[in-house]
Structure 1
Amino acid sequence: MKIVQAIKKGDEPFVFQNSNQLKEPLVLVFGNRYMLESEHIFNEVRALFPEGHIVFGTTSGEIIDDKVLEGTVVLTAIEFEKSKILVKRCNVKDYQNDDKKMGTKLAAQFPKEHLKHLFVISEGSSVNGSALIEGIEHLNNNGCGLSGGLCGDDDRFEKTLASYNESPKEGEIVAIGFYGDTLEISSANYGGWTTFGPERIITKSQGNILYELDGKPALDLYKTYLGEK
């Protein structure tokens, strides 16, 4: 496996940390939403990797090496020696807010034989991630791994963008299937949430949507603690 990485700041070109000639690589491009809205970003990456499978996703911070950045675009291109990839996409507007069905239909496009891992990059403004995962796992009966995430928009929460082999756009979900007997993929996550206030009992919810705490509307309770925030 060969990997090259590059970083783009503002209107500057990508600066590569290492160099390698890659054949039909998977090119992951994660970055600031304003920068990925540029009409030139796709053509810029395509010129660097004419044979690449290019996947975009907007972020709430970018990671390269051991650094966490903001307002940049980070590119990681990977050439596999023995393994293969298959990339599929869909858009939320085609499924009328049925995120579970969307996940099931997306997962069904991947042949199960030798499938080791699914990596999903989803639009993050309107998709219910729990329902999307439930739909994907509905057909995941061969024990393959699943990881990925919802796209971000820094602290704006206005809109998110993703795409496969085209300019980033709203509503896209991209799934990458990794195939190969010798392939090993692991994943991990870490959350930074902390508790505040007294413990309360959830008295009304549906799926992962919270409506009431201790018989009171959850939104009213949050406003009591957080005010305008």
Structure 2
Amino acid sequence: MKDAPIVFQAVISHSNDPDTLSAAIELIEHSQRQLAGAIAQTGILFAAPDFEHQVLLRHISQAFPHLQLIGGSSDAEISSEMGFQEDSCVLVLFHSDEIEMVVGIGHELSQNAAQATATAIAQAQSQLTQPSKLCITFADGLTQDGNQVLTGLQAVLGDHFPILGGITSDQMRFQQTRQFFHNAEINNAVMSDAVVVLLFAGPLQFSHRTAQGWTPLSQKGEITKVGGTTLTEINGQPTLEFYRPYLNGAAPTVEYPLAIFTAPDNEQFYLREPIRSDPMTGSLTSTASFPETGTVQIAYGEREKLIAASQQGFIQALADYDGNHPAIVLLFSCATRRVVLGTRTTEEYHVVQSLNQLQLPIIGFYTYGEIAPLNYNQPSEVHHATLVSLIIGT
């Protein structure tokens, strides 16, 4: 007799009701109908910045008393229930008898990222009975360099451990983002300057891919002076001088990120987007650090190429999936992609959904930085202007 299939259930609820209490009730009632009596063990919540987040968390946790939950504020939200939405909230709840799912939180990222990340992982791992296989994380990228967060997680989990997720966002205000956390010890925490993690262990299968689609605009240059998240010089000149001929002297914006090549003889790159510039020093600042040295090139986004890349990335993630029963798709896309795609942003979701022949539930959000390996089985990186597709199941 064949072994019974491993149960791994993921149910999604999505509300665009502007009233926080009404939205919470909608999420809860829809989730309860789908669970049909199964116990929700863990969850992920994404919500626009203007919701009363503590109200959302309190009502969700009261409705699901065994729940551990992480999440954060979002630029926009995605789900198979409502597609692409702005000013909404979306919840996924997980249930499994065989797969372990536990959460952890680290505070005061800006003071000590290594300690905060180590605390979050230790808190989660203390609940596991077997080695963890996958980490999903959300963190504040306005108070701490996203690379410092990732480096801290990798210091504990290992350089090649699969870490995926995103930097929480606030609809391009760049003022304050929120991280959500709930477990038996810490109730309904809505924080800033924090990192939250969800660890999976047991018979889990997953696959992931990144998608970019950005086109080189400029000649290549060499980084010659950098200080963490601030890039001061390219080719021995102020960074803004490198941009000047291509933008007619205008200040660089997120629509013109820098492609940073992984090696001088390699055409693969990750992206860094400028969130502000300083005309006095000629520098620009991002939400994740730049390498001390490296080759860079200004890039720009063509809508057709961005959408085509999103489609191809999901195709690759599907092809890489080795399990028999995929359960959910998580999408982490960049707020910059939403800005560039404009009225065509919904197409990024629709090209993924059009390939979703198994009708898997989909959930995601638009971030200030995406965390995933650039290539399969490589160390995770912090990306900008990128779409990450993650498929989880058994």
Q: What TM-score do the two structures reach when normalised by structure 1? A: 0.84
1:146 matched to which residue of 2? 163
Measure how far apart 1:73 and its partner are.
0.2
1:201 matched to which residue of 2? 222
The C-alpha deviation readout for 1:109-164, integer Å capped at 9, x for no partner, is 42584211111111232221112111211232496421111111122211100121
The C-alpha deviation readout for 1:63-85, integer Å capped at 9, x for no partner, is 10282211100011111220112
Contact 2:42 2:93 in 1 (8 A): yes
Opposite residue 73 of structure 1, the aligned amino acid is C
The C-alpha deviation readout for 1:16-66, integer Å capped at 9, x for no partner, is 27621331421211020111x345222222233222112231112111028
The C-alpha deviation readout for 1:142-188, integer Å capped at 9, x for no partner, is 964211111111222111001211142211211111111x1113333
Measure how far apart 1:209 and its partner are.
4.0
1:32 matched to which residue of 2? 48
The verdict on how the C-alpha distance between 1:80 and 1:199 changes in structure 2, with shifts beyond 3 A counting, is same
Contact 1:58 1:152 in 2 (8 A): yes
The partner residue of 1:7 within 7, 10, 14 is 14
Contact 1:61 1:68 in 2 (8 A): yes
| More off after superposition, 23-32 vs 68-77 | 23-32
2:117 matched to which residue of 1? 103
Q: What is the number of residues matched between the two proteins?
A: 225
3-state SS of paired residue (1:186): strand
1:116 matched to which residue of 2? 133
2:312 matched to which residue of 1? none
2:251 matched to which residue of 1? 227
Matched, 1:87 2:103: yes
Contact 1:115 1:144 in 2 (8 A): no
1:43 matched to which residue of 2? 58
Contact 2:13 2:91 in 1 (8 A): yes
Structure 2: distance between partners of 1:190 and 1:135: 25
Opposite residue 163 of structure 1, the aligned amino acid is F
Measure how far apart 1:223 and its partner are.
6.8
Root-mean-square deviation (CA, aligned residues, Å) is 2.8
1:63 matched to which residue of 2? 78
Opposite residue 168 of structure 1, the aligned amino acid is V
Structure 2: distance between partners of 1:99 and 1:38: 24
Structure 2: distance between partners of 1:149 and 1:57: 9
The verdict on how the C-alpha distance between 1:194 and 1:49 changes in structure 2, with shifts beyond 3 A counting, is farther
2:235 matched to which residue of 1? 214
The partner residue of 2:90 within 53, 58, 74 is 74
1 or 2, which has the higher helix percentage?
2
Structure 2: distance between partners of 1:199 and 1:142: 29
1:168 matched to which residue of 2? 190
Contact 1:62 1:69 in 2 (8 A): yes
Opposite residue 210 of structure 2, the aligned amino acid is N
Structure 2: distance between partners of 1:39 and 1:138: 32
The verdict on how the C-alpha distance between 1:131 and 1:48 changes in structure 2, with shifts beyond 3 A counting, is same
The verdict on how the C-alpha distance between 1:223 and 1:125 changes in structure 2, with shifts beyond 3 A counting, is farther
Opposite residue 104 of structure 2, the aligned amino acid is K
The verdict on how the C-alpha distance between 1:130 and 1:106 changes in structure 2, with shifts beyond 3 A counting, is same
Q: Tell me, which stretches of 5 or more residues in structure 2 are unaligned?
A: 1-7, 183-187, 254-394
Contact 1:90 1:174 in 2 (8 A): yes
Structure 2: distance between partners of 1:149 and 1:193: 19
Q: Tell me, which stretches of 5 or more residues in structure 1 are unaligned?
A: none
Structure 2: distance between partners of 1:22 and 1:124: 35
Opposite residue 160 of structure 1, the aligned amino acid is T
Structure 2: distance between partners of 1:140 and 1:38: 30
The verdict on how the C-alpha distance between 1:41 and 1:220 changes in structure 2, with shifts beyond 3 A counting, is farther
3-state SS of paired residue (2:207): coil
Opposite residue 102 of structure 1, the aligned amino acid is A
Matched, 1:155 2:172: yes
